[in-house]
Chain A
Amino acid sequence: MLKGSLGLIALSSLLMSGTAFAQEKIKVGVTATLEGTYTVLGEDGIRGFQTALNVLGKKVGDKELEFVIASTDATPDSAVRAVRKLIEQDKVQILLSPLSGDEGIAVKNFAKTHPELTFINAASGAQETTYVDPAPNFFRYNMDGAQWQVGLGKYAYETKGYRKIATVGEDYSFIYTQVFGLVLEFCGAGGQVTNRQWVPLGTKDFASVIAALPDDVDAIYLGLGGADAVNFLNQYQQAGGKAHLMGGSIMIDQTILSSKGNAKNALVGTLAASGQADTWEDPGWQKFVKDYQDAFPPAKRFPSPSLLATNYYGSTMALILALRQVNGDLSDNQSKYKAALAKIELDAPNGKIKLDSNRQAIGTNFVTEVVDDGKGALFSKVVKVIPNVNQTLGYDPAVFAKIGLPSRTVPECKKY
């Protein structure tokens, strides 16, 4: 149905383009994971995107923005296929893509084959995307997975007193990056990460994974998202699991905290870190939450925007505001537009965002704890705000380069 209606939108936009030829249009392609394990994440990303359009409008000077949405399923080939289709068939000039980590790396590499176009990352957070061999026309206005974990390791070690933890995560680049950020800080503070388990994206039966969790640790860190996270929690509850939990940025997120059923209650009190916190009192954040809530009826949205909605909102904001700065001028292979994008500083709902020389965001990070609002709804409550987090996590770039790229076993658990 969704795919069908997207097709219809695409078709109707084609038909309409004939009637409105008087006005010049700028075509933008958007991708989101509207299929597979991360369906719910993709849907909320699109909600964030639409909220941004409601707030900012679709006009750039005398030009009108036109959007074409394509669906992916979190695999790199699906993302490249969608982007290729948007460029070759729909003739888009700017891309807002993609959502998920592996997709990000693939789309970044693909971006190099179209240096004349502009790619704005929608929400993906693998470190490699902008850190290794970045594409000059690929801009990322959200932090990467490691930046989103800043503060968590220290807080767990110093305030919570955790000394030994184990991790369970999905086996792909974004979660590698998240565990990278966590391990670096937790082990740097003196903690130990005894065991790292990796499960394929889209695992349904976690019972054996749960059985293999070590019991001699203070906490277990979960780097899961979407359907995988819900399945894990459900089976964790059935197995009578009682350990302290810590969560990654898409684990402790409204996509999971407002899932149906009571398995999510295992998360109350869970420590996490992310590029946002549901209960942050900042007026900009509160306004965004209200805009999001007003844009959709309660049954069609989460109680509060997810990280994906926030990322899509920020990326769309950058896309439109920079386009307005150059008054919609995309001549000369969009060079003016790209320059504006590289310079722009965003007053995003989740704090100020600016780009570094790799066109990667420097932003604000939040350490949070899950609380029950008394009516059965779960929210992430902010316990610590850390501004100006850069991609090397405050390390000297030369030291940071020695650590290696995030993978199943990198970084080692030691002080760098």
Chain B
Amino acid sequence: MTRFVERHPAWSLIVIIAVAVVLWLIFAVWPPGLEDAIGRKRVFLNALFNGITLGGLYFLVASGFTLIFGLMRNVNLAHGSLYLFGGYVGYAISASTGSWILSFIVAFILTALVGVLLQVLVFRRMEGQDLRQTMVTIGLSIVFADLMLWACGGDFYQIQTPNWLIGPIDLPLITAVKSSGEPVYLRYPLVRLVIFLASVIIGIAMWLALNRTRIGMIIRAGVDDRDILAATGVRIQAVFVLVFALGAGLAGIAGVVGGTFQSLSPGEDIRFLLASLVVVIVGGMGSIPGAALGALIIGLAEQLGSVYIPTYAIVVTFLIMVLVLALRPQGLLARR
């Protein structure tokens, strides 16, 4: 941090000013002139929070994707299929048992299992052949998509939000002051906050696991140089299977989340594959903090874009990707 400030004093100043402006926009009561210029504060705060919570969902999908890539150099283009599969499993469990929490657990386990099967039966046979693996994953994603269309049809599925999460809550953020002087607080859907918190917890847990545990150390070593790691006697294949299972399981969890606050239908697999590709390209392939930053940027861009420049909202995401590729092709937080 201090090194960054020393090396780029001008940039640091810009960042600090931007952060200050955003904080002011969030906490201050907007003067009438500002409301006339860019709309009500409620809309801005909602878009901001929605962007952050959507970023949480993108992070869940993209973190598994980037983890698998980081360790195995395998661009798993079937990752979106794992997302959709997890969602459908979650729907089946929550519809039959009525338990939302249970649907996460089962979706995680089953998609992790699919991930293990993929790694053991398919990718182990073509280790180190990046292009072949990528082609195979494209093929698999098409096969999976058709299998799921056959099993679940083209219908839209929504996972039932549990009763205790339905509805909005008041946040201690003032959006406006009534003429009587009484403040109006921001009302925000509880379920999105809970999901965002969960993704933050998962993110921190992953970071801790990678940086503070023995297995995390092995994985990091594998990311740096897996041949040397294998030579030191670590059972690298077991590590690969574990990481693939974890990455796939995270996609499965994300599927349940996506099915709860959006919906599941054919085509979602491609959409989330594309989203996680954009996220990891922006953040840096193979980097977990990069995935978090990328997810946040893309989520915010989508939501703020949909409010303030609705016609061009779709372009914004890709503009960001193009900019990053042009100025910092390795991604914002990539190490190499």
Contacts and interface: CB of A to CB of B under 8 A. Distances in A.
Interface of A: 1-4, 34-37, 39-40, 42-43, 171, 197-200, 203-205, 207-212, 226-227, 230-231, 234-235, 237-240, 259-263
Contacts of B47: 208, 211
Contact of A205 (B43, B160, B262, B314): B262
Nearest to B95: A260
Interface stretch (B186-194, B283-291, B318-326): B186-194
Contacts of A226: 156
Interface string B153-172: 11111111100001110000
Contact of B306 (A40, A199, A260): A199
B303 A35 contact: no
Contacts of B54: 205, 207
Given A208-B306, A212-B43, A212-B307, A238 B149 contact: no
B262 A231 contact: yes
B134 interface: no
B146 A1 contact: yes
A329 B157 CA distance: 47
Q: Which among B159, B167, B262, B263 has the highest number of chain A CB atoms within 10 Å?
A: B263
B43 to A, nearest CB: 5
Given A199-B310, A209-B306, A204 B189 contact: no
Contact of B265 (A210, A227, A239): A227
12 contacts: A200-B314, A205-B261, A207-B303, A208-B47, A231-B263, A234-B261, A234-B262, A235-B189, A238-B161, A240-B168, A260-B157, A262-B160
A37 B160 CA distance: 21
Contact of B167 (A35, A207, A212, A238): A238
Interface residues on B, range: 35 or more
Given A1-B149, A39-B154, A240-B187, A261 B160 contact: yes
A34 B307 CA distance: 30
B117 interface: no
B150 A1 contact: yes
Contacts of B307: 208-209, 211-212
Contact of A1 (B147, B306, B313): B147
Contact of A238 (B42, B51, B159, B189): B189
A240 B155 contact: no
Contacts of A4: 146
B43 A259 contact: no
B63 interface: no
Nearest to B48: A208
Contacts of B50: 205, 207-208, 211
A239 B171 CA distance: 13
B46 interface: yes
B158 A263 contact: yes
A43 B266 CA distance: 13
A238 B160 contact: no
Contacts, number: 126
B158 A259 contact: yes
B271 interface: yes
A261 B160 CA distance: 6
B269 interface: no
Contacts of A197: 310
B183 interface: no
Q: Which among A198, A209, A211, A261 has the highest number of chain B CB atoms within 10 Å?
A: A211
B267 interface: yes
B261 A238 contact: yes
A240 B190 CA distance: 10
A35 B269 CA distance: 13
Given A207-B53, A207-B54, A211-B47, 11 more contacts: A4-B146, A36-B267, A205-B54, A205-B262, A207-B189, A207-B192, A211-B307, A238-B167, A238-B191, A238-B192, A239-B187
9 closest Cβ pairs, A-B complex? A211-B46, A261-B158, A39-B154, A1-B150, A207-B50, A240-B168, A238-B189, A1-B146, A208-B47
A406 B18 CA distance: 41
A392 B161 CA distance: 45
A208 B303 contact: yes
A261 B94 CA distance: 11
B141 to A, nearest CB: 14
B257 to A, nearest CB: 12
Contacts of A199: 306, 310
Nearest to A43: B154
Nearest to B303: A208
Contact of A230 (B146, B154, B263, B310): B263
Contacts of A200: 310, 313-314
